[in-house]
Structure 1
């Protein structure tokens, strides 16, 4: 147990059989549990923490790595280390909407369109959308966030020419639902969802501000319009530390 002394230095118990880095991690975890450190709050720098605990930066770095492994903090390149929010309960049902799910949890939803690419459908995309192999599609690459924290990174495929310039609509309206509305799809529902888990690839880890190799929940989904026509196939990766997928009947 550490004690904050009058000089503002947190003393670490020496020689008690508990490594200094673990004591530091436990101390910061206790601050998070007590509410002294709240979700989204930025931690002091490594140098400041090293001074506070009277240790070297390597010891602090190991403590922060342990906290990141526990899913309690998130290190962001060039910005610092932040307290993670509680995992978001994300319902998956016949009518899954990212913005609605996030708002229902009392958090602010947002999204970023990283790229919009016109391409030909490979075997997987063609089968998912029930279109001929090689048919034209538009792929939207997006990162979706809750309270500014990246929750999912994915690729959505939409058949052409029906959804021509869908990327422009997404940029204008900020959500897939509204972008589809602008293309005449007033409502849609989930036809199929497949969920699995695997470690994050380097690109996914970078997009989601995760350490490489952290666990992802992957969701492949197919949406159809009111007539049953397949309109969207999405492959999305969710941070397992930040998301709890809840399958609803």
Structure 2
């Protein structure tokens, strides 16, 4: 089912009351479930799939949309459609480290800095960090990937002036843990995590390579350094179809 070579023809069942797009979606799902289409594999183009099934591209597009809603594929702007990897088990415990969790699963972890700014902390963030409202914090917007697939996006706030320049360290190192080490923080622990869920807004869906309206898991967390000083308040959004949260005792 690659881009090259002869196009395999798959006959659809006609006159049985089952829509062509559903037959295509079910057939491709079966190939994903059996491993004929492996995790991370790129699907053929809409034109190639239309030729394979003897339908128009609109029918193929609807079938792919259904697979995206099922969490089986993701469409990436300008690159094509890819098979989603199995869900990543993501433990939530005293030492929650994205890079370590992803690496233990045999996948490559990286974080992208989307934006950063020095801002006055609003009341909720200030309370999480044990600061007075309006205290200066460094506000980071980040995107976290496993083998290039977006897993989560987050807004992270750190107290200033202690972490002035942390955004540059994160951009260079691709990891909160490695950036902390550059600031002399060798260890930190999770004080609290609040878990919720909501639908992805259009901007979030685009950032995470999602169909709009897909479910996101929301995590509001607070971390402290080895001395117990609060150093990080994060509002994270995880793609529900790509992670399985495991709350550790």
1:95-147: per-residue Cα shift (whole Å, max 9, x none)? 00001111111111111111121111011111110101111000111100011
Aligned partner of 2:60 in structure 1 is 60
The residue correspondences of 1:116-195 to structure 2 (distance < 5 A) are 116-195=116-195
1:90 and 2:90 correspond = yes
Aligned residues, how many? 244
Q: Which runs of 5+ in 2 are unaligned?
A: 1-5
How far did residue 172 of structure 1 move?
2.4
The residue correspondences of 1:1-249 to structure 2 (distance < 5 A) are 8-249=8-249
CA distance in 1, matches of 2:10, 2:227: 64
CA distance in 1, matches of 2:106, 2:209: 22
Residues 119 and 138 in structure 2, CA contact (< 8 A), matched pair in contact too: yes
Superposition CA RMSD, Å: 1.1
CA distance in 2, matches of 1:183, 1:84: 36
How far did residue 8 of structure 1 move?
2.6
How far did residue 174 of structure 1 move?
1.9
Aligned to 2:65, what secondary structure does the other structure show? helix
How far did residue 7 of structure 1 move?
7.5
Aligned partner of 1:3 in structure 2 is none
Residues 99 and 109 in structure 2, CA contact (< 8 A), matched pair in contact too: yes
CA distance in 2, matches of 1:92, 1:207: 23
How far did residue 151 of structure 1 move?
0.1
| TM-score normalised over the length of structure 1 | 0.96
| TM-score normalised over the length of structure 2 | 0.96
1:62-89: per-residue Cα shift (whole Å, max 9, x none)? 1101111110000111111100001111
1:5-61: per-residue Cα shift (whole Å, max 9, x none)? x97311001011211111101111111112111111110111110011000111111
CA distance in 2, matches of 1:247, 1:7: 46
CA distance in 2, matches of 1:7, 1:96: 46
CA distance in 2, matches of 1:204, 1:246: 23
Residues 7 and 52 in structure 2, CA contact (< 8 A), matched pair in contact too: no
CA distance in 1, matches of 2:71, 2:49: 19
